């Protein structure tokens, strides 16, 4: 954005993880001055030097465009807090042993902000935090001697998906602002005005996405507590949708129906909607598992029985075991079998392997004595830190290299390139034409026509175990030649 009629705001964003870095780049993109703070000196040096620590569409473009201009990186929280009008806290809220969110990073940042500020600031929680955190931050700041009229604490949760975070930020379904005073809500409205007024969507160099001048994102003004609950409830609801369809998939599998047809039939009801009804190996990532546990914990703390979320978690765990059983039924025995694996990240489009069902499955395969050849377009480096390459674990650079002479190929996440494989080439490359698809990327009939034994999730005939005799004893085309 070159010309902007709105009044730019000076913003400090504390934390340069997924949320902090994307928010920083996008606030700069819509015309604000942004100081992104992190206490990790090496990371800040990398960011200052043009490095991009995460795989995220459009992020390199935005960082390159705004770095050194409207966007700067620093370790100096004190100076950033003093300079900024709004201070966004976007530090990690990892899961503690009890499942609750560990707020020690938020606590440390709030205390340091309190020690730094000498004029009015709006302190905004962007990290996913349990209800009451807002009040708790307010108390921390007051306890550090800051007068009540020198600050407000607001809540502005993010709903970004990894991989599409930049587009989600700039073209949001909604912007939620939880604020207790007009002063705080006015500043947050000013920050988002380039989006809510449509100014950004009129610009020539905007990042493309679903929002246009005639389809503006709504800004929902709520209490701070409601904003906090909206974030947890949204993620918990989406996770529930996934676990729900996964159980329906298991019913389909047993009954001989196709879950894809069922999901379509359910999703056409506008009250339900067709999104997040893809059956598979279950949800993972840094958000859903953590937030479902944290929301369950919040419910417990306030004395509400949210047993539903226990079930959601249990179904999600079971889904990996069910998938693994499917692999076992196809392979008969594991020791010494060569397995090709497509996908290591918790979903396609990201390099994030946190709570990835794919990693869970790979670890199980290795512990059973399989030899794994894995390919993921972005997550190899991160996975290597966890599972180093070795005789049993190989990292390869294409889907066909993963399939080379494998006894079976597993599809474990949904990178778009995994859905566009050359099936004839794949058939030729595999030692045995067995594909076990944990993301339902292919049509079973097409796969059968191509000569594959194809197992997926919640589709007809899958309850029948593969007949290992016929699969393993049928000579392959190549052998025949």
Binding site for ligand UGA (CB under 6 A): 128, 158-162, 235, 238, 242, 276-278, 280, 283-285, 287-288, 291, 346-347
- Which candidate, 21, 19, 83, 13, places its Cα nearest to that of 46? 21
Calpha distance 347→324 (Å, rounded): 18
Instruction: Please give the Cα distance from 109 to 14 (Å, whole number).
Output: 8
The residues facing 341 across adjacent strands are 374, 410
Say which of 26, 36, 252, 287 is annotated catalytic: 287
What b/e string do you get for 397-415 counting C-beta neighbours within 10 Å, with b at 16 or more? eebbbbbbebbbbbbbbbb
- In whole angstroms, the minimum distance from the beta carbon of 147 to ligand UGA comes to 34
Q: For residue 162, which phi and psi values (nearest 5 degrees)?
A: -60, 140
CB of residue 159 vs ligand UGA: minimum separation in angstroms? 4
* Residue count (the chain): 481
Among 150, 114, 112, 156, CA closest to 134 = 156
CB 295 within 8 A of CB 238: no
Residue number, 36 or 294, with CB nearest to ligand UGA = 294
Q: Are 299 and 309 in contact (CB under 8 A)?
A: yes
CB nearer to ligand UGA: give 158 or 376.
Answer: 158
Element (H, E) at 142: helix 133-143
25 within 8 A of 90, measured Cβ to Cβ: no
Residue 189 contacts by C-beta under 8 Å, 6 or more apart in sequence? Answer: 177, 196, 219
Strands of 211-313, DSSP E: 219-222
Is 39 exposed, middle or buried (CB count within 10 Å of its CB: 0-12, 13-18, 19+)?
middle
Does residue 410 sit in helix, strand or coil? strand
Q: Residue 335 Cβ, how far from ligand UGA at the closest point, in Å?
A: 29
E strand or H helix at 14, and its extent? strand 10-14
User: Is the Cβ of residue 287 or residue 403 nearer to ligand UGA in the bound state?
Assistant: 287
287: annotated active-site residue: yes
- The two three-digit tokens of residue 269, written as one number: 């009801």
Residue 346 CB, shortest distance to ligand UGA, in Å, is 4
* Residue 88 DSSP SS3: strand
Known catalytic residues are 287
């Amino acid at each position: 954005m070159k010309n902007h009629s709105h009044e730019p705001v000076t913003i400090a964003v504390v934390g340069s993880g997924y949320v902090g870095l994307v928010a920083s780049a996008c606030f700069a993109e819509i015309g604000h001055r942004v100081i992104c703070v992190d206490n990790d000196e090496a990371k800040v040096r990398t960011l200052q030097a043009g490095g991009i620590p995460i795989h995220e569409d459009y992020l390199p473009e935005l960082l390159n465009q705004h770095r050194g201009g409207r966007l700067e990186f620093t370790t100096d929280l004190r100076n950033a807090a003093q300079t900024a009008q709004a201070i966004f806290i976007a530090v990690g809220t990892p899961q503690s042993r009890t499942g609750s969110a560990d707020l020690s990073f938020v606590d440390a940042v709030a205390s340091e902000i309190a020690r730094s500020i000498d004029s009015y600031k709006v302190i905004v929680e962007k990290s996913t935090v349990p209800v009451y955190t807002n009040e708790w931050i307010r108390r921390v700041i007051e306890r550090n001697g800051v007068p009540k009229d020198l600050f407000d604490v607001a809540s502005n949760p993010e709903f970004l998906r990894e991989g599409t975070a930049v587009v989600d930020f700039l073209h949001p379904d909604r912007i939620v602002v939880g604020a207790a005073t007009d002063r705080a809500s006015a500043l947050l409205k000013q920050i988002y005005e380039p989006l809510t007024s449509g100014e950004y969507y009129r610009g020539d160099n905007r990042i493309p996405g679903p929002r246009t001048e005639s389809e503006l994102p709504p800004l929902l003004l709520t209490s701070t507590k409601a904003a906090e609950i909206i974030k947890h409830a949204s993620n918990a609801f989406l996770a529930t949708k996934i676990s729900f369809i996964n159980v329906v998939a298991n019913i389909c599998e047993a009954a001989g129906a196709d879950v894809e047809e069922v999901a379509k039939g359910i999703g056409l009801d506008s009250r339900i909607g067709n999104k997040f009804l893809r059956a598979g190996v279950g949800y993972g990532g840094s958000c859903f598992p953590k937030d479902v546990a944290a929301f369950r914990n919040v419910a417990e703390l306030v004395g509400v029985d949210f047993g539903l979320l226990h079930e959601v978690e249990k179904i999600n765990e079971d889904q990996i075991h069910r998938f693994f059983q499917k692999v076992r039924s196809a392979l008969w025995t594991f020791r010494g079998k060569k397995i090709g694996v497509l996908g290591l990240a918790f979903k396609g489009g990201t390099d994030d392997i946190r709570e990835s069902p794919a990693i869970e499955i790979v670890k199980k395969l290795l512990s059973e004595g399989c030899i794994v050849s894995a390919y993921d377009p972005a997550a190899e480096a991160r996975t290597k830190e966890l599972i180093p390459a070795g005789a049993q674990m190989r990292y390869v650079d294409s889907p066909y290299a993963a399939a080379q002479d494998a006894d079976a190929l597993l599809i474990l996440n949904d990178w778009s390139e995994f859905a566009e494989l050359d099936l004839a080439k794949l058939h030729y490359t595999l030692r045995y034409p067995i594909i076990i698809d944990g993301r339902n990327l292919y049509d079973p009939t097409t796969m059968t026509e191509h000569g594959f034994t194809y197992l997926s999730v919640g589709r007809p005939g899958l309850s029948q175990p593969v007949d290992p005799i016929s699969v393993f004893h049928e000579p392959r085309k190549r052998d025949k030649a």
